[in-house]
A = this chain, B = another copy of it.
Amino acid sequence: MNSIALTPQPPYYAVIFTSLRTEGDNGYGEMSEKMVNLASSQSGFLGMESARDGLGITVSYWDSLEAIRAWHRNAEHELAQKAGYQQWYQSFKVRVCKVERDYGFEKGT
């Protein structure tokens, strides 16, 4: 995930997940990796970007709101969400967005 996602021409959708963790790992690292792999295999998944230094920001990209809803309701993901509420997160915010425009830059080599 440590790269800029290769998303298609807009419009598409983004879910911005911003979080503050609780102390300790409590199984988070393993589950987090599992959820990244599982999300990547979902229909309509376009890419994901993630960074944390204290505050964590994960942005996942999707081709439709229906794909986002299906991922939210995925059974394994629902179990992870439950553990997120109970154990892993002090606080979080989820923002569902429509990407209307994008542009990029890559330095010449």
Bound state CA distance, A2 and B51, in angstroms?
12
Contact of A20 among B1, B3, B20, B52 (CB under 8 A): B3
Q: Which applies to chain A's interface (DSSP): helix, strand, loop or mixed?
A: strand
Do A107 and B90 have beta carbons less than 8 Å apart?
Answer: yes
> What are 28 inter-chain pairs, A to B, with CB distance below 8 A?
A4-B18, A4-B19, A4-B55, A5-B18, A5-B93, A7-B93, A7-B95, A18-B49, A18-B59, A22-B107, A49-B55, A50-B55, A50-B57, A51-B53, A57-B57, A85-B105, A91-B106, A92-B105, A94-B104, A95-B102, A96-B99, A96-B101, A96-B102, A97-B97, A97-B99, A97-B100, A98-B98, A98-B100
